[in-house]
Amino acid sequence: MKPKSILARLNYISNRMTKLLILTLLVTVFSSCQWLTDKSDKAALEKHFDIPDDAEMIAYDGYPAMVGFGQREALSITAKYKLTDDDMYGWIKKVQNKGLKKLPIEPDCKKKLWFKNKLVPTDIKTGYYFCRTAGNDVLNADSTKSCDEVDNLIDIIFAILDTDSRELSVIITSGY
């Protein structure tokens, strides 16, 4: 058997390094896309729910993880925040115009809530909630209306505040 030349070995190593570099770049690009999607989703949560600046995000989940072909079908973005007393009372005042109501959730509204999510409990008895809908493009909607005004919700913008634990749970979800 004839030993491989140094040039052949260098060429082999170069090809392997090139493949490894391409793989590393692809992983980096896809990770960056996920980071940007999460950042965009969190901005949408802040916009729709007027999240206080000092609120601590204690849980977050976004599905699907990334945009595919310009859409995110079956979108569900949830988060839970821990609020200070001042933030909680300030938030209650700030979102009055969104149709904030005292808990428990009214039966007509509860029937319309088709989502099931462990981060967003709907059985809390002490606190406040609001339910809004956009009708389309829920993440970027400039105007929303109360869920009370719509019979069949195709998207939901829902917040529930447990005043005992000072936890604000929110969800943006779509059925399209």
For residue 39, the model assigns a pLDDT of: 75
Strands 127-133 and 145-146: antiparallel
Question: In which band, very low, low, confident or very high, does the pLDDT at 85 lie, cut at 50, 70 and 90?
Answer: very high
Cα–Cα dist 158/171, whole Å: 5
Question: Which neighbouring-strand residues pair with 80?
Answer: 59, 169
Question: Which neighbouring-strand residues pair with 94?
Answer: none
More confident residue, 7 or 91: 91
174: CB partners within 8 A, 6+ apart: 72, 73, 74, 75, 76, 138, 154, 155, 156
Question: In which band, very low, low, confident or very high, does the pLDDT at 29 lie, cut at 50, 70 and 90?
Answer: very low
* Average pLDDT across the chain, whole number: 83
Domain assignment present for 1: no
Total tally of structural domains belonging to the chain = 1
* Phi–psi pair at 174, nearest 5 degrees: -135, 150
Domain assignment present for 19: yes
Domain assignment present for 12: yes
Average confidence (pLDDT) over 95-111: 96
Domain assignment present for 111: yes
Domain assignment present for 18: yes
Domain assignment present for 150: yes
Range of the domain at 34: 6-174
